[in-house]
Amino acid sequence: MTVRVRIAPSPTGYLHVGTARTALYNYLFAKKNNGKFILRIEDTDVERSSKEMTDIIIESLKWLKLEYDEGPFFQSDYFSHYIDHIPQLEKTGGIYRCFCTPEELEERKKKVIEQKKAWKYDRKCLNLSKEEIEKNLNEKKPYVWRVFIPEGKTYFDDLIHGRIERDNSEIEDFIIVRSDKTPVYNFAVVVDDYRMGVTHVIRGDDHISNTFKQLHIYRLFGVEPPKFAHLPLILDEKKAKLSKRSGTVSVLAFRDMGVLPEAFVNFIALIGWSPKDNREILSIDEMIQLFSFENVAKKGGVFDYKKLEWMNSKYITKTDDEKLYELLKPFYKESGIDIENFEKEKILKIIFSVKEKARYLKEFPYLTEFFFKEISDYDKKGVEKFFTPDRLSHLKVLVKELENVEKFTSENVEKLYKDYVEKNGIKGADVIHPTRLALSGRTEGPSLFLMMEIFGKEETLKRLTKVL
């Protein structure tokens, strides 16, 4: 048996973090088992679906580098195909027409709730006679198709949760085709998964209630259902389901913040799953090798923004400077700096100087902006603390000594500063902090001596002299 899995988002919104993780687990499982990973766009909700959102979903998967083997397939291309199955199901006696109007249903539902009972469809149309059905059809009364749920229990063996069982009395006779002849989600999903030969359905555990309904459709078709694996939900820091209220949940929003795709994939993989050796930094190939449902948690994992920042910073640090140069172009351009207008070697040094401090790519322009513009504002507290008469007197002497440095490298400048500190019996901070503040306007930043090398002799002396 060839493993075939699918990711099936609805194009009614962006690709959510939870859907991205579901896509990842499907991808990992498929690759580990030499299977196929399929993309299906579930656009049966025609009014809310849009091409723009479809494009965003595809762009998001592309950014995550989760390449699908087949698709994208669109449910809207198969509307007539779903309805073609109704005669086959009708012959089983397992489905029936329901002519109840929404108003009638609401009225009956209201009465049941007033009696403090749980409402489910009361099967008013289950035993209509042939004559009654014909009369309604002749009068062109709209109707839906419902599945008849027999007595007993429904169960399945979930690859994560084990056996899950529900009494059929808890499952109402649900609708599979609306009055406008469009298929309902649960029906379309079963037809699609069977047609595509899906062997494993891996999705969020908020779909467990749908699984019970879908099993009844498989039963009527007389086919073996796929195996199911229901993933724990992703939670926010308050242990509630991750939503817009929790903060950023769109995959492309994280891209636009400057999260590296490899870091994001690594991060979401570990929300609810962990390898046996508890490693945290994993390549996609390592994830494929290590992935198993045995190590997927039954309870939801928390989306920890601090951990994402930490992990992204680790990936930034180990990313080649040339690659960072390409990735950072749009972020610098957005901040008003076109790095292609500057000597590339200098930009690479600037990137290297702060790469260990950046949590997101978006931070690079701020962390390095003083390299690209004149300093007009100096940190006020820094000025009070470091621009004191005694420290500035040392700086004045150092300016003269720096003028005599022929090869203006970080090593040579650092040696000059160290020799000066030892010769004058002062602390290194007495000259390092005022120099940094004079060059950048800040009290923190990259290595001072690398900064001076990047600025070069002329610009370094110019900025120091300006402060003096």
Binding residue positions: 244
The radius of gyration of the chain's CA atoms, rounded to the nearest angstrom, is 32
Give the separation between CA 185 and CA 213, rounded to whole angstroms: 11
The answer to whether the CB of 173 falls within 8 A of the CB of 149 is yes
Give the separation between CA 370 and CA 441, rounded to whole angstroms: 8
Query: What residues form DSSP beta bridges with 38?
Result: 6, 70
Task: Write out the H or E segment, with its range, that includes residue 421.
Answer: helix 410-424
The answer to whether the CB of 348 falls within 8 A of the CB of 326 is no
Query: Strands of 175-177's sheet, edge to edge?
Result: 95-98, 144-147, 175-177
- 3-class DSSP state for residue 164? strand
Give the separation between CA 442 and CA 383, rounded to whole angstroms: 9
What DSSP string runs through 206-242?
GGHHHHHHHHHHHHHHT-PPPEEEEEPPEE-TTSSBP
- For the record, the structure tokens of 431 come out as 């000259």
Give the separation between CA 247 and CA 234, rounded to whole angstroms: 13
Within a 10 A sphere around the Cβ of 427, how many other Cβ atoms? Answer: 9
Query: Which residues are known binding-site members for ATP?
Result: 244
Known active-site residue 244: yes
- 3-class DSSP state for residue 437? helix
Q: Active-site residue among 124, 153, 244, 344?
A: 244
What residues act catalytically? 244
